[in-house]
């Protein structure tokens, strides 16, 4: 998890964070890798990772499941190809059940499908079975969306499943080790409060930004396959 590497925080931006993450991943001998980014912020980190690994990059769309009436409070998440993953202790503290958020889940399913269509169109996800799959985000706070993503990818039977992020809360990183074969993190600062505090520039990406970055990733992969 970055032991032995000198890390200067905050990162300048997601691109720099991706380059540092790529340095870690380049050392571990991945077999036929594919990089899946959690949009939107994870895409800007994932593209330099994929370029360094010589791997294809695509998005794995996830959506937070918010508490009814307070959508910023995430009680779970859902990823394309997977089922909703809930924070059971939080549901218990809030004294609600999964049935109480069923309408929210259906709304997020529709939004997830819309974003899959926007970002990928008619293209299918790259083949994941028997490959090393690297799921990338720009950081780990609660880990809800990462957990949903990892469970969805696990169902595709990858050879090895990795979660890779530039920065994360130590407690969350430890909790997600049960979901991935490896969790790669450049830095786990002890005073972690939010992902954005560890970036000097942490602009919100637009859908146009995501599409531009994915196009760059596909073009780089095409050049690699053609030997240019």
Does 46 reside within a domain? yes
Does 217 reside within a domain? yes
For residue 15, give both structure tokens: 């691109």
Does 108 reside within a domain? no
Within 13 Å, how many C-alpha atoms sit on residue 55's CB side?
Answer: 30
* pTM for this prediction: 0.94
pLDDT tens figures, 88-144: 999 999 999 999 999 999 999 999 999 999 999 988 999 999 999 999 999 999 999
Number of domains in the chain: 1
Phi, psi torsion values for 111, nearest 5 degrees: -65, -40
Does 95 reside within a domain? no
User: In tens digits, what is the pLDDT along the chain, a chain of 228 residues?
Assistant: 444 466 789 999 999 999 999 999 999 999 999 999 999 999 999 999 999 999 999 999 999 999 998 988 999 999 999 999 999 999 999 999 999 999 999 999 999 999 999 999 988 999 999 999 999 999 999 999 999 999 999 999 999 999 999 999 999 999 999 999 999 999 999 999 999 999 999 999 999 999 999 999 989 888 877 776
Distance CA(103)–CA(101), nearest Å, equals: 6
Residue 5: the pLDDT is: 60
R_g of the chain computed on alpha carbons? 17
Does 81 reside within a domain? no
Does 171 reside within a domain? yes
Burial of residue 81 (CB within 10 Å: 0-12, 13-18, 19+) is middle
Q: What is the CATH number of the domain that holds 196?
A: 3.40.50.2020
Does 115 reside within a domain? no
Residues 58 and 39 sit within 8 Å (Cβ to Cβ) = no
Determine the structural domain holding residue 140 and report its residue range. Answer: 14-61+127-226
């Amino acid at each position: 998890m970055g032991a032995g590497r000198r890390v200067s925080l905050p990162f300048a931006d997601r691109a720099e964070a991706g380059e540092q993450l790529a340095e870690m991943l380049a050392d571990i001998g991945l077999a036929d890798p594919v990089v899946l980014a959690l949009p939107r912020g994870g895409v800007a980190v994932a593209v330099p990772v994929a370029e360094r690994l010589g791997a294809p990059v695509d998005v794995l769309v996830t959506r937070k499941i918010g508490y009814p009436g307070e959508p910023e409070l995430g009680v779970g998440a859902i990823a394309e190809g997977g089922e909703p993953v809930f924070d059971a202790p939080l549901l218990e503290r809030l004294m609600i059940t999964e049935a109480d958020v069923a309408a929210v889940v259906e709304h997020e399913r529709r939004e997830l499908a819309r974003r899959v269509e926007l970002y990928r169109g008619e293209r299918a996800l790259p083949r994941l079975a028997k490959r090393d799959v690297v799921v990338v985000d720009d950081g780990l706070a609660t880990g809800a969306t990462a957990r949903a993503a990892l469970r969805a990818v696990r169902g595709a039977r990858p050879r090895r499943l990795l979660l890779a992020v530039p920065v994360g809360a130590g407690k969350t990183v430890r909790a997600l080790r049960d979901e991935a074969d490896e969790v790669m993190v450049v830095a786990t600062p002890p005073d972690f409060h939010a992902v954005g505090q560890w970036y000097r520039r942490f602009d919100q990406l637009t859908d146009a930004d995501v599409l531009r970055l994915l196009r760059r990733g596909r073009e780089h992969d095409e050049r690699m396959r053609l030997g240019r």
